[in-house]
């Protein structure tokens, strides 16, 4: 049995930063993640994707951010159970929680912090009849290494942040980038929308709005896509790769059966400390929901910080928590 102060379910950026905040309070953490390595979606889906809204970093690759977080928490020596999914939870007779994974590993802790991001997930696929025939043969639902698309003709579909961000990145790598979106407007960050429009106006990319990719063609691999434009009708376009970026379908998995209050496939929390309806269980990051919720890494970091303050009081009910600034004490002085 693995025992710790805070058991964190999910080793994405929010879960990793929670280790740091807990460490400042001299609380030990152990993390469970179904993936084989820490980092969550940042590592598994888009390690080379630049992130622009981390304070102090004008731009940082997702994989680099994970590396930095791992370096930041190293002094606190967290434990990891990787490649296993948190399956069941039960109250121990002393009031702590027992969490067992799908492989039978048992963990015990007085506090559980669920930081599972979107939970388990799968990409939203466009309704193109033969799309499965070209998966990994020209159709990709995520980008792990943008260099793979160097000198290719790439068609991206979507109107959110991922579609916009990757269009900007691949504009300097691919031979040609075409962004296809079914509407005139975009849902992404205003700065990204402006950059994409500038790239379109300068001829660096081809911007096709009020249109959808409706067909894929090629012998052994993708060679061409069919686009249905609202006013121009059918358009045939040569393509080496088609990347539909319509987001992910989140699934809570076994966590959804733990008796937590769920709303729209997310865990409801109290914004005082991001506690759930079960005392001792918290939910931080993209997996939680509350009025005004924004699914940003930055917000997850904030939630982790407040969660650890309340976790300390549960773990040490007879001790007074004294808040200290790391600029005064440093890490070793805490």
pLDDT at 15: 97
pLDDT at 325: 62
Averaged pLDDT, 228-234: 95
d(CA 267, CA 288): 4
Provide CB contacts within 8 A for 105, sequence distance 6+: 2, 81, 84
What long-range pairs does 126-130 form, CB within 8 A, spacing at least 24? 126/157, 126/212, 126/213, 126/244, 126/246, 128/213, 128/214, 128/215, 128/216, 130/215, 130/216
DSSP per-residue codes, 54-80: BTTBSSEEHHHHHHHHHHHHGGG--EE
pLDDT at 43: 77
Which residue from 23, 6, 242 is spatially nearest to 114, judged by alpha carbons? 6
Q: Domains in the chain and their CATH numbers?
A: 2-121+248-329 (3.50.50.60), 125-244 (3.50.50.60)
- 58-67, 105-114, 150-159, 306-315: segment of lowest average pLDDT: 58-67
Which residue from 78, 76, 94, 82 is spatially nearest to 37, judged by alpha carbons? 82
Cβ of 234: how many Cβ atoms within 10 Å? 10
Which residue from 240, 196, 244 is spatially nearest to 222, judged by alpha carbons? 240
For 13-30, the pLDDT digits (tens) are 999 999 999 999 999 999
**DSSP conformational letter for 108:** E
Cβ of 252: how many Cβ atoms within 10 Å? 19
For 185-200, the pLDDT digits (tens) are 998 888 889 999 999 9
- 54-68, 114-128, 157-171, 252-266: segment of lowest average pLDDT: 114-128
For 244-287, the pLDDT digits (tens) are 999 777 677 889 899 999 998 899 999 999 999 999 999 999 99
For 62-97, the pLDDT digits (tens) are 999 999 999 999 999 999 999 888 999 999 989 999
Q: Would you place residue 331 in the very low, low, confident or very high pLDDT band (cuts 50, 70, 90)?
A: low
Provide CB contacts within 8 A for 209, sequence distance 6+: 180, 181, 182, 183, 184
Burial state string for 253-282 with b = 16 or more CB within 10 A and e = fewer than 16? bebeebebebeeebbebeeebbbbebebbb
Cβ of 151: how many Cβ atoms within 10 Å? 9
Task: Using alpha carbons, list the distances in angstroms from residue 152 to 48, 174, 211, 275.
Answer: 18, 5, 22, 48
Q: Token pair of 221, please? A: 């691999």
Cβ of 93: how many Cβ atoms within 10 Å? 5
Q: What is the percentage of the chain residues whose pLDDT exceeds 70?
A: 94
Provide CB contacts within 8 A for 125, sequence distance 6+: 131, 141, 244, 246
Which residue from 201, 220, 199, 219 is spatially nearest to 156, judged by alpha carbons? 199
Judged by phi (left if over 0) then psi (alpha if -120 to 50, else beta), residue 11 lies in alpha
Which residue from 15, 118, 4 is spatially nearest to 66, judged by alpha carbons? 15
Inform me whether the pLDDT recorded for 48 exceeds 80. no
Taking the whole predicted model, whether its pTM rises above 0.75 is answered as: no
Q: Token pair of 268, please? A: 């409801």
Q: What is the percentage of the chain residues whose pLDDT exceeds 90?
A: 76
Inform me whether the pLDDT recorded for 334 exceeds 70. no
Q: How far does CA 52 lie from the centroid of its chain?
A: 14
Which residue from 196, 233, 197, 240 is spatially nearest to 214, judged by alpha carbons? 233
């Amino acid at each position: 049995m693995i025992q710790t102060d805070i058991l964190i379910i999910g080793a994405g950026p929010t879960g990793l930063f929670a280790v740091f905040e807990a460490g400042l309070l001299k609380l030990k953490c152990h993390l469970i993640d179904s993936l084989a390595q820490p980092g969550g979606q940042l590592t598994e889906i888009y390690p080379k994707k630049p992130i622009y809204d981390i304070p102090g970093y004008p731009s940082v690759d997702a994989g680099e951010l994970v590396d930095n977080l791992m370096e930041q928490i190293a002094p606190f020596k967290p434990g990891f159970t990787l490649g296993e999914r948190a399956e069941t939870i039960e109250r121990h007779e002393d009031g702590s929680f027992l969490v067992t994974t799908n492989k039978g590993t048992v963990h015990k802790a007085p506090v559980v912090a669920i930081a599972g991001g979107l939970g388990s997930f799968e990409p939203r696929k466009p309704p193109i009849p033969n799309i499965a025939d070209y998966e990994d043969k020209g159709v990709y639902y995520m980008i792990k290494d943008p260099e793979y698309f160097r000198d290719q003709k790439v068609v991206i579909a979507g109107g959110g942040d991922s579609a916009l961000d990757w269009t900007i990145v691949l504009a300097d790598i691919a031979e040609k980038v075409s962004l296809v979106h079914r509407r005139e407007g975009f849902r992404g960050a205003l700065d990204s929308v402006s950059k994409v429009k500038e790239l379109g106006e300068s001829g660096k990319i081809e911007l096709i709005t009020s249109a959808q990719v409706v067909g894929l063609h090629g012998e052994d691999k993708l060679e061409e896509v069919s686009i249905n434009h609202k006013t121009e009708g059918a358009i045939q376009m040569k393509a080496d790769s088609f990347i539909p970026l319509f987001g992910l379908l989140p699934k809570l998995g076994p966590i959804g059966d733990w008796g937590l209050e769920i709303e729209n496939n997310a865990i409801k929390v109290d914004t005082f400390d991001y506690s759930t309806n079960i005392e001792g269980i918290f939910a931080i990051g993209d997996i939680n929901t509350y009025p005004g919720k924004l699914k940003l890494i930055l917000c997850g970091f904030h939630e982790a910080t407040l969660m650890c303050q309340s976790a300390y009081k549960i773990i040490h009910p007879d001790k007074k928590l004294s808040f200290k600034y790391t600029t005064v004490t440093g890490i070793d002085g805490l």
